[in-house]
Each structure stands twice: as C-alpha cells, then as structure tokens.
Amino acid sequence: MKRPLSIILCLMAMLVSCTKSSNAIASAEVEDTDTTTTVEATKSLPQQVTLALVGDIMMGNTWPADRLPVSDGKHLFDDVAPIFQRADVTCGNLEGVIAPPEVGEPRKNPESKLAFMFKMPPRYVEHLKNAGFDFLSLANNHIYDFF
C-alpha cells in the first residue's frame, strides 16, 4: 500500500511542477539601440578556494585533574599554523568542551573506565584563534560530556 501511494504522490508532484504558473511575468519588450555599454567587474572572484580541514582537536584536559600540555599549550599548533593561516577557510572538530574547571557536572559515570570526558580551559580558545581556525565543529560524541 505504501509503495503505490508514494509513486502516485511523486507523479503528482512532478505534474504540478511542470505546469505553467498563472502568475508568470510577461517578458518585457526591449528597444533596439545603437548604444554599447561596457561594464567592468569591480571585484573578481578567486579561481580557487583553499580549505584546511582538521580532525579531532584535543588540547588537554582539566577533568578530573589537569592534564595540560607544556607551556600551557601555546605551541600546540606551531608546526601547522602556517598551513592553516594560508588557507582561505580552516575548520576542525573540537573534541570536547571549553569551560572553566568549576563549571559543569560530568554527564557520564566518572567511575567507569570507559567514560572519557574532555574539558579544555577557556584560555585555549586563543590558541585556536592564533593557529588560524575560522570555525570549529562541535558535532561529536563529547559535546554533552558536562552539563
């Protein structure tokens, strides 16, 4: 029953989309003239766009105890920052939350050996900015680690 109904609905949608609209705008008549107008583009679009796409970014953890990199993470992106900064758009997946240590309760059972929860300090946003990131995706399994 579902299959014939979906076929009928698809056919009806195609028929409706192929009909002439009663609200169609009539084409205007253009008067032929001898005048030629030259229009110059004021801004040209780039022929190509360079993207830098990065996988999971994990810059340390402050839960349940501080496990942060040396120099407070200031040099985490030193080797790749020139590449990110040359790209037109740089994006990555932030694998965890950015929040102060005192904010948020763990969502998972902290006693579980399978409960991996990541929280990075807010000051690390500056490291991402300096590295050249334009935007970060938060769509991953750690976005709800803390609430």
Range with the poorest average pLDDT among 5-9, 16-20, 73-77, 113-117: 16-20
Contacts of 55 (CB under 8 A, 6+ apart): 92, 93
Compute the distance between CA of residue 76 and CA of residue 94 in angstroms, rounded to an integer: 14
Q: Which amino acid is at 128?
A: L
Q: Which two tokens stand for residue 109?
A: 């059972």
- Euclidean distance between CA atoms 31 and 116, whole angstroms: 72
Question: What DSSP string runs through 29-85?
Answer: P----S-------SSPPPS---EEEEEEE---B-SSS-B--GGGGTTTTTTTHHHHH
Query: Cis omega (within 30 of 0) on the bond before 4?
Result: no
Predicted confidence (pLDDT) per residue in 80-128, tens digit? 999 999 999 999 999 999 998 888 877 776 667 777 888 999 999 999 9
